[in-house]
């Protein structure tokens, strides 16, 4: 589904991302890890055509993202709170997202029921604008907005950040169930090694803008990742 070829991004003389080849097949739950400044958000921003590459291409379903917007119909993403519309309530936001995807309001209302446990009574029916919610509850709105879009590709940048431990557990369960039930492709970045190893089929490590590890998740993946990052101390 996603093919990266000779992709790099520079700011002045500084190279922040440099990936020769990276292919992510459909149906995979793909985890991206790395320290601050490793290039994780830059990579996702290039995938979403939010920034232009210095060289190279990102192809989404055989479509070069810099040359067409057709890929947007089958891609949903949440990188940060800037993707939200702060002056809407969560209910209004979800209805808006549904309208963009051609989903009727009634279906959105029904679909939201499956996320009641994740919302934990803190998002819907609060009579609050999104901008007035806590960072964690804003994150819940953004994540569920991508899932409601019902696209085959979902991109989530640091989805576990700003969530309390119980909600992180609920999110991991939700993502695994979504991937299993729908066959969606998930691209998930995180600083938390344990979360991504529990959720993802494959882990790629970025270090100073380059791919330095790429492996299928196994019982010893977490131990290997922890050992790698200890070496960076």
For residue range 84-142, what is the model confidence (pLDDT) as tens digits?
999 999 999 999 999 888 888 888 989 899 999 999 999 999 999 999 999 999 999 99
pTM of the model: 0.95
Q: Which DSSP state fits 10?
A: E
* CATH 3.40.50.300 describes domain 2-231: yes
Query: Helices 165-182 & 135-148, crossing angle to 10 degrees?
Result: 0
What is the reported pLDDT for 109? Answer: 87
Residue 233 has pLDDT above 80, yes or no: no
Question: Residue 182: what pLDDT?
Answer: 93
- Positive or negative, the CA dihedral 70, 51, 54, 154 is negative
Residues 153, 24: contact at Cβ < 8 Å?
no
Residue 202 DSSP SS3: strand
Check if the beta carbon of residue 51 is closer than 8 Å to that of residue 74. Answer: no
Region 11-16: mean pLDDT is 94
Residues 158-190 pLDDT 10s: 999 989 999 999 999 999 999 999 999 999 999
- Contact between 229 and 221 under an 8 Å Cβ cutoff? The reply is no
Predicted local confidence at residue 105, as pLDDT: 86
User: How confident is the prediction for the chain on average, in pLDDT?
Assistant: 94
In the chain, beta strands by DSSP E? 2-11, 14-24, 29-33, 55-60, 63-64, 75-78, 153-157, 185-190, 202-207, 210-216
The pLDDT of 43-57, averaged and rounded, is 96
């Amino acid at each position: 589904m996603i093919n990266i070829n000779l992709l790099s991004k520079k700011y002045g003389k500084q190279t922040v991302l440099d990936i020769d080849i990276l292919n992510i097949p459909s149906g995979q739950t793909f985890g991206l890890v790395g320290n601050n400044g490793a290039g994780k958000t830059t990579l996702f921003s290039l995938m979403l055509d939010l920034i232009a590459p210095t060289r190279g291409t990102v192809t989404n379903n055989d479509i070069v993202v810099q040359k067409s917007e057709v890929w947007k119909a089958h891609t949903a993403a949440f990188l940060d709170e800037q993707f939200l519309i702060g002056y809407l309530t969560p209910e209004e936001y979800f209805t808006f997202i549904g309208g963009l995807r051609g989903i009727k309001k009634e279906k959105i209302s029904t679909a939201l029921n499956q996320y009641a446990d994740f919302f934990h009574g803190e998002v819907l029916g609060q009579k609050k604008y999104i901008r007035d919610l806590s960072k964690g509850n804003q994150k819940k709105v953004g994540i569920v907005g991508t899932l409601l879009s019902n696209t085959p590709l979902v991109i989530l940048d640091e989805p576990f950040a700003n969530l309390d431990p119980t909600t992180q557990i609920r999110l991991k369960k939700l993502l695994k169930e979504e991937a299993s039930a729908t066959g969606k492709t998930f691209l998930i970045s995180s600083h938390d090694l344990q979360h991504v190893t529990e959720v993802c089929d494959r882990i790629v490590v970025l270090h100073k803008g380059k791919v330095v590890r790429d492996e299928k998740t196994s019982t010893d993946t977490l131990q290997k990742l922890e050992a790698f990052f200890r070496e960076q101390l």
